[in-house]
Amino acid sequence: LQPPGTGSRGRSGDLKPEEIVRLEEDRVVLLDQRRLPDEEVELECRSAAEVAEAIRAMAVRGAPAIGIAAAYGYALAAERGEDLDEAAAVLLASRPTAVNLAWAIAELRKADDPRACAREIHLQEIDRCRRMAEHAAGLVEPGARPLTHCNTGGLATGGYGTALGAIRAAFAQSLVEHVLVTETRPLLQGGRLTAWELDRVGIPSSVIADSAAGSFMGRGEVTHVFTGADRIAANGDTANKIGTYALAVLAAHHEIPFYIVAPSSTVDLATPTGAEIPIEERDPSEVTPRFPARNPAFDVTPAALIGAIVTEAGVHRAPYEESLSRPTPAGAAR
Amino acid sequence: LQPPGTGSRGRSGDLKPEEIVRLEEDRVVLLDQRRLPDEEVELECRSAAEVAEAIRAMAVRGAPAIGIAAAYGYALAAERGEDLDEAAAVLLASRPTAVNLAWAIAELRKADDPRACAREIHLQEIDRCRRMAEHAAGLVEPGARPLTHCNTGGLATGGYGTALGAIRAAFAQSLVEHVLVTETRPLLQGGRLTAWELDRVGIPSSVIADSAAGSFMGRGEVTHVFTGADRIAANGDTANKIGTYALAVLAAHHEIPFYIVAPSSTVDLATPTGAEIPIEERDPSEVTPRFPARNPAFDVTPAALIGAIVTEAGVHRAPYEESLSRPTPAGAAR
């Protein structure tokens, strides 16, 4: 990872990995995503429990970034001499849906050098992002007007991004004209974070209300839908931010390709189908503090609605039971 | 209309029509819907231009309520000796999509006694609501868990409501268990106004993010979708609050009946299809003040996705060209 203050990768304005999350001598430091874009404030976590609380409260969110933050939190706990069973348990309990968290903790528990292992996980996730983005960009034709949901950029992954990385790679190849960003209620990860990231790197975009996505599809203003994933079951069923399922149904209705872009750390072959993925219900007051509300944070999109799942290994097509279980999918270059 | 302070209709907490909008001696007074549910504040409009501004700024909204407010505004203009061509023009220009506005102004321009005509329009809209609600309740089976979008209650209609009136009538017949209310971004008419109205009359409900509607349908938690309308074309294509189209597509995907409930004043036989309905684009800063955004206020749901259009005359079924042009639809009782 580059030290703070040195040149960013490529375009000015691109977020540096260490700006998003890093392990210092005695603390995990992360950009508090709850306060973006209005304020760029760092949050310091001095124990595994504080990292877990930052994840629970969504100061850091996005499946890969959660895994990275948890890895740094576990490494911090190891160096501080915390009870590591307890540290692992508190980190694992912070959010239930994203599988990257469990994956990262399992990697750390095997490691001789937790700090080096956590940094390696961070670097590998960024490398995976760049590789999956190149694969996914191959699915895009010139003049593309993709729609994306939630935030799957550098903030969500520790650098570069999954679905947003794919859009960035396609834009760099002059394939993308404009990006529609669903604001992603209740916490507005699209309207706050994705719009901010696209603005920083100069990609033309417009934020829309989540409810408007279908209408823009009906008007012919959406050529592709790209989203990330919080957990992908062995059969391809994919849990992702609430609203993803509706976008997949709407995309199918309009015959618009719908693609998932996520690292292999998000694929959970131990979960056979989406029915077995736990769906987090968050505090209803995030929706409205005044009236009764329901606030599922995720939904499950059935594999049948997914045109392709793109990982760093390539472009996985149905039947996903087969393509996800192979190290390199057939026809990766489409 | 009942004078302020006298008994409300039925349940305690029901909004009285004159609380929503009324014409006093020298002003139109309306409950400022922008400030609900936090504050119940009245807005006073002392000219047609001030009424038009209240409509434009959505202090009063909902197609029938816009028509009623415009009628009172025109009557006020007539009594004040305003230039009535100008008064009509400024009211008509306030919002483009709802046809009730044009309909109400046309009624007023023919009237000998504008004040009496405006009151009559208000009373008639409430009477229409009660009749369409009874027709629509006939579409509901016991144990219903309807979903509704935006606000179509008394606030939207001058009293009782259209789609929400239907749900109220069905609830009164013990047919409704629970109502899901989409919050309806960007202005939250569902989360602020519909939730408030349902709370006042004691109907169990939960607010959800707009993006969650598809997920709740997929879980089997939605039995019917009821929405209002801002303009219904002769062929049944229906303009309504942004997000209605997506709900109709999602309902069709899940084989959930999707019904429009609206007065005949919302049917515009002079508009052949939805393609001819003007769609208002509102200030993008309503979505986000910080980044580029798109903010269409309405969308058009094609007739093919609409299971029935319920007016005060009865239950209209496809083909709508025929059923909407008849005074009383065949098979009104389903």
Interface confidence, given as ipTM, is 0.93
Residue B334 scores a pLDDT above 90: no
**Residue B183: which of A180, A191, A287 has the nearest Cβ?**
A287
pLDDT tens-digit series, residues A18-36: 999 999 999 999 999 999 9
For residue B143, what are the CA distances in angstroms to A121, B221, B223, B310?
A: 51, 11, 9, 21
pLDDT (0 to 100) of residue B67: 96
- The average pLDDT across A48-73 equals 97
Q: Which of A8-12, A60-64, B36-40, B181-185 has the lowest mean pLDDT?
A: A8-12
**Confidence at B14, pLDDT banded by 50, 70, 90:** confident
pLDDT (0 to 100) of residue A96: 85
Residue A334 scores a pLDDT above 80: no
CA distance A133 to A166: 4
Min Cα–Cα distance to chain A from B83, Å: 39
A191/B287 Cβ within 8 A: yes
Give percent of chain A above pLDDT 70. Answer: 94
* Among B213, B222, B217, B226, CA closest to B308: B226
Min Cα–Cα distance to chain B from A113, Å: 43
Task: Give me the phi and psi of B146, to 5 degrees please.
Answer: -70, 155
pLDDT (0 to 100) of residue A4: 40
- The average pLDDT across B91-97 equals 93
Name B227's Cβ contacts closer than 8 Å, sequence gap at least 6: B148, B149, B150, B152, B163, B240, B241, B244, B247, B258, B259, B260, B261
Q: Which residue of A has its CA nearest to B203?
A: A292
CA distance B143 to B121: 35
CA distance A229 to A316: 14
Name B60's Cβ contacts closer than 8 Å, sequence gap at least 6: B20, B21, B30, B31, B33, B54, B66, B69
Q: Which of A95-109, A130-144, A149-163 has the lowest mean pLDDT?
A: A95-109
pLDDT (0 to 100) of residue A330: 53
- The average pLDDT across A84-110 equals 94
**Confidence at B10, pLDDT banded by 50, 70, 90:** very low
B292/A207 Cβ within 8 A: yes
Q: Residues B276, B282, B283, CA angle at the centre, nearest 5°?
A: 155
A211/B185 Cβ within 8 A: yes
pLDDT (0 to 100) of residue A120: 97
**Confidence at A326, pLDDT banded by 50, 70, 90:** confident
Min Cα–Cα distance to chain B from A150, Å: 11
User: How confident is the prediction for chain A on average, in pLDDT?
Assistant: 94
A212/B299 Cβ within 8 A: yes
**Confidence at A1, pLDDT banded by 50, 70, 90:** very low
- The average pLDDT across A122-148 equals 97
pLDDT (0 to 100) of residue B243: 98
Tell me, what amino acid is at A72?
Answer: Y
Residue A331 scores a pLDDT above 70: no
Residue A137 scores a pLDDT above 70: yes
The DSSP secondary-structure symbol of A144 reads B
CA distance A57 to A64: 16
Give percent of chain A above pLDDT 90. Answer: 91
User: How confident is the prediction for chain B on average, in pLDDT?
Assistant: 94
The pTM of the whole model exceeds 0.90: yes
A246/B214 Cβ within 8 A: yes
**Confidence at B216, pLDDT banded by 50, 70, 90:** very high
A292/B214 Cβ within 8 A: no
Min Cα–Cα distance to chain A from B107, Å: 33
**Residue A215: which of B246, B290, B291 has the nearest Cβ?**
B246
pLDDT tens-digit series, residues A175-200: 999 999 999 999 999 999 999 999 99
* Cα distance from N-terminal residue to C-terminal residue, chain A: 32
Q: Which residues of A are tagged catalytic?
A: 230
Residue B5 scores a pLDDT above 80: no
Between residues B9 and A291, the one the model is more confident about: A291
Strand A42-45 to A205-208 pairing: unpaired
In chain B, residues with a C-beta closer than 8 Å to the C-beta of A280 are none
Please return the burial class of A306, using the count of CB atoms within 10 Å of its CB with bins 0-12, 13-18 and 19+: buried
pLDDT tens-digit series, residues B284-303: 999 999 999 999 999 999 99
